[in-house]
Structure 1
Amino acid sequence: REAIATFDDLTVAAAPTLPHVEDFEDGVADFFFPAGGWAVSGGRYEAQPPAGSNAASLLGLSEPLPDEFDLGATVHGLNGGAGYSRNGLLIFDYRGPSDFAYAGGFFGAGEWRMGRYDGTNWSVDASHGEGLSTQQDYVLLLTVRDGRATLSVDGSQKLTHDFGTNLSGGRVGVGTDNAQAQFDDFAVTASADNVGPRVLEVLVVGTAWTGAFTDALAAAGIGGAHGFTVSTGPDQHLALPWTNGDQVTMRFDEAVTVSAGDLSVTHSAGSFGVTGVSYDALTNTATWTLDAALTSDHVQITLADTVTDGATNALDGEWVDGQSTMSGDGTPGGAMSMTLHVQVGSSDRDDATSIYDVSVIRSALGSSAGDAGYSPHADLNGDGTVTSDDFDGLLANQGRSLDTVAGGGAGAMSMTLEGVDQLVTTPSDAPLNGSMDIVVRTADGNPVDLLDYSVRVALTGPAGVSLTGGGAATSNPATTGPNPPGLLNTDGHVDALPQAYYLGTANFDGSVMAVADGSGLVRLDYEVAPGTIGIFTFEIVVSGPADTALVASDESTVALTVNSPQLTVTIPGDTNGDFVVGTDDLGAVLSNFTRNVAPGDLQSGDLTGDGVVGAEDLGLVLSTFADSGTARSTSLATASAAADRARLTRWHGWKATRDRAVAGARFFTLVSRAEGGPL
């Protein structure tokens, strides 16, 4: 322009099409448009920007890039000296000097990185750390599939990132960020579509979930309009607490063909039916609707590799539970199978629904999506507001757990839980029903303030005794139920009957319970089968949050000591539970003879349970004297008992004046040796 020049041997060449390869062996970087200082030296293309500057050289193609293409080059970082960084990059989706994507090695930082440059900042959207060196060749391959880019180095995948927009609209090339580097064997090719579609995201959603609720999921970074994201690597197995999750959604990295039959959802007792599937072509997202809401269980979601892309490549579905965030191993074919933990009501997302979940809902009660105190995990029905309607999911599942959940640390307060040991006579015909309270003992005998508590009891011992349920304590209950008007959760968790029972409070309004020393927390109901003999322990279980736990008014967990009570079921005539009818039992009857005692108090001698120690109790002891709980033959037992009774009569100076059959017992008139008359 405004100059005089001489030209010779001018040639015009058409810009290249795909595939295009440049090895720089002819000393020319054909069809590259450099900026920032570039030269071909020794068969390599070298970036030589001034210190503090970037370098970029873009390939000029005669046609647009396809949606799916591969970009590769050998990258060799140089030590530029003072003022330089050390990196070498592939550039793609170049839309201008202040708007392009990059992927490559940052040798000084020891990282492979991928992100975008906006003219000021090199944002990092994905990174992978490892030992990197300058003066070493690395073979980089960037595969671009619509909006997702994946970087492999020397044949090993390092990074992948979904940019959320198609990446074929800009140009491609090489560059550096204030660094010197060499490039060789540059190649860009249209992808031969032999790659199976991958699942980029898995979500669970409820058809009843409102827009306000899904907006709250998006605002919290845990989902969006398509539901709650579960493909979260290490967090995949955190429990899903919602009552009405009845859809499974999957987003793919390309357009796919799906059907209702491609998805199966199973649980420990069977499977959910799939009633239909919808597909959003704009986002490559499929949503399957189930015939029922997900229930508390380990749920297995399997997507068959009958899902295909436009080139009929089968799903690349391999998945590693607790690690994967997208499916695939790079080869078409292979179903996707992932496990979810569904524990309805577990607002703290552990594997148990417990009194600690009450606190989560209580803290958010009355709040709506967008409020400071709102939590999507407390909004169990997904309607955008935490109300009493959300109580139902917790109340119906409190005490249930998928797996053992470890307990946390305890606060400064400590208490003891115990029960009163009981002694009963085995029934002869109909089962015997009884109950036992679990009571609390405070450290200093003074009342304490609690917000919530739960008690789990497991029955151990031989066969013959079973737990049948429970409820509010019989004596001095700390609170009553069901809720409302009391705080106890109806009749408790009965799934584990007859071997275990659980009952907890559901204190949603935060009322403080002033619990006195000796207050009963819960009542246990039991049944004894006829002929049962043995010692049974009502073990107070304190293994984790879904077991026995007390929460103080300051939300701290109370440190517990437990003294698990026992039920002794013994033979008729035994008053002290040693399974033998002997002189101690006779003494118990005689020492309280004619007295009123608590009905059924065997240790006081009331063997018949009428509240009076009298002739029938005495007759029962004498008729069973020397009987033992140890199994013996009938003849030996009869002979031994007769001998023991004879010795007893001689020893005490008593004589039998007549036998009278009353309720199967033999009655004796006692005669004083000294006076010779009746006692």
Structure 2
Amino acid sequence: WVASATDITAPRVVSVRVSSEAWQGSYLDHIDPAQRSGFPMSALARQHASLPWTNIDQIQIQFSEDVGATFDSSMVKISGTRITDYQSLYSVSYNENSFVATIQFDEPLSADKLAIGIRDTLSDAAGNQLDGEWLDGGSQTTSGDGIAGGNFYYRIHVLAGDLSGDGVVLGNDVTAGVLARSKSVGDDGYYPLSDLDGSGNTTPEEIKMLVSLRGTWLSTGEPQLPSFAITPQNPLDVAQPDEQPPVDAQPKNDQPPASAEPLVSDEPPSHGSIASTKATGPTTCRGLELESQPILELFSDIQLPAVDFIVYGPLLPDEYRLRFLTFNASRG
């Protein structure tokens, strides 16, 4: 007789995708030719790069094998910085053929940093628990440390219009969109990240939306990882209640993150160049009065307004930043 092999391989997460019910087939063919289901997060240079689409309403998590026998929607939790608990804002389904759990949001996601958690009580038919550990922000494409057990935690950042993925929408994002204006899937110069609605074409309306989003940024705070109740292993164990992330009490911040790039820069954007004006003006011991020219002119039907401001107090020759505008103060 031949002894049957015992399955000791734990299931893992092998891919994470974001998608939208509104994305067109031609767009899915372009960004995901293998499965045509969504944008693979593994395609990002950095996991924490923010996603620029305006209509993301799905997150798809694929496992290495079937976990449908034990899968339950309560095993999935999502928290964020803007919305601390998403539990009432989505539903979860599981496909036993593709091994994909799909998180369907009631509305497209707004700007936020999301933390997704999947409980390791999820198991395959042989009872092997999810091997879910993930090196957050690293280069992993598959979860796990080689030992069964371990919750899966994954971060996704969303900021509409942030084509560069740096957490703030600035002139370089608008520039990249302008360079792809009126380009469609298959055209030279088509840039899928500038196709904010996944229609397969970067329209003038999307460029205007990019301009309107300029100056928005993600919160500098971080979401708390979702937590799960402890499952008793024997009658003496007592399960702990679910812990909910605290209400987000971060103070409002009128300044962009310290790492944010200035809107006006001497350095051309990586995707092309659009002429810009760097403002300069005299300084005195009593103050500085400066009027800027239009900061950035994209094309004939879109022009950003001029900015007037006065700074009181002595300024030494140096470079200063006011909100998103960089200017030089020099004696003369």
Normalising by structure 2, report the TM-score: 0.69
Question: In the aligned structure 2, how far is the partner of 1:208 from the partner of 1:414?
Answer: 38
Question: In the aligned structure 2, how far is the partner of 1:414 from the partner of 1:207?
Answer: 41
1:524–1:263 distance in 2 versus 1, CA, 3 Å = farther
Q: Which has the higher contact order (CA 8 A, sep 6+)?
A: 2
| 2:14 paired residue number | 200
- Displacement after TM superposition at 1:307 (Å): 2.5
| 2:168 paired residue number | 352
| 1:332 paired residue number | 148
Counting only pairs closer than 5 Å after superposition, residues 183-582 of structure 1 correspond to structure 2 as 190=5, 192-219=6-33, 224-231=35-42, 235-257=46-68, 258-269=71-82, 270-273=84-87, 274-321=89-136, 322-391=138-207, 393-402=209-218, 403=257, 404-405=259-260, 410=267, 416-418=279-281, 437-439=290-292, 453=296, 487-488=303-304, 521-524=306-309, 535=313, 541-542=320-321, 547-548=324-325, 562-563=328-329
Q: Which letter maps to 1:200?
A: V
- Displacement after TM superposition at 1:350 (Å): 2.8
Question: Do the aligned residues in 1 keep the contact of 2:292 with 2:308 (CA within 8 Å)?
Answer: no
| 1:66 paired residue number | none
1:357–1:232 distance in 2 versus 1, CA, 3 Å = closer
Q: Which moved more, 1:238-247 or 1:269-278?
A: 269-278
Q: Which letter maps to 1:417?
A: T
1:394–1:306 distance in 2 versus 1, CA, 3 Å = farther
Counting only pairs closer than 5 Å after superposition, residues 628-667 of structure 1 correspond to structure 2 as none
Q: Which letter maps to 1:365?
A: R
SS at match of 1:215: helix
SS at match of 1:265: strand
- Displacement after TM superposition at 1:323 (Å): 2.7
- Displacement after TM superposition at 1:227 (Å): 0.9
Q: How many residues align?
A: 276
Gaps (5+ residues) in structure 1? 1-15, 20-189, 425-434, 441-449, 454-478, 490-520, 527-533, 550-560, 566-679
Gaps (5+ residues) in structure 2? 219-256, 269-274
SS at match of 1:377: helix
1:355–1:256 distance in 2 versus 1, CA, 3 Å = same
Q: Which letter maps to 1:268?
A: T
Question: Do the aligned residues in 2 keep the contact of 1:241 with 1:349 (CA within 8 Å)?
Answer: yes
Q: Which letter maps to 2:53?
A: W
* Bigger Rg, structure 1 or 2: 1
1:333–1:484 distance in 2 versus 1, CA, 3 Å = farther
Identity %: 28
SS at match of 1:216: helix
Question: Do the aligned residues in 2 keep the contact of 1:301 with 1:339 (CA within 8 Å)?
Answer: yes
Question: Do the aligned residues in 2 keep the contact of 1:541 with 1:547 (CA within 8 Å)?
Answer: no
Question: Do the aligned residues in 2 keep the contact of 1:344 with 1:393 (CA within 8 Å)?
Answer: no
| 2:225 paired residue number | none
Question: In the aligned structure 2, how far is the partner of 1:298 from the partner of 1:409?
Answer: 31
- Displacement after TM superposition at 1:289 (Å): 0.7
SS at match of 1:271: coil
Q: Which has the higher strand share?
A: 1
Question: In the aligned structure 2, how far is the partner of 1:271 from the partner of 1:345?
Answer: 24
1:312-350 deviations in Å (ceiling 9; x for gaps): 332211000123211111222211112223222012333
Question: Do the aligned residues in 1 keep the contact of 2:285 with 2:313 (CA within 8 Å)?
Answer: no
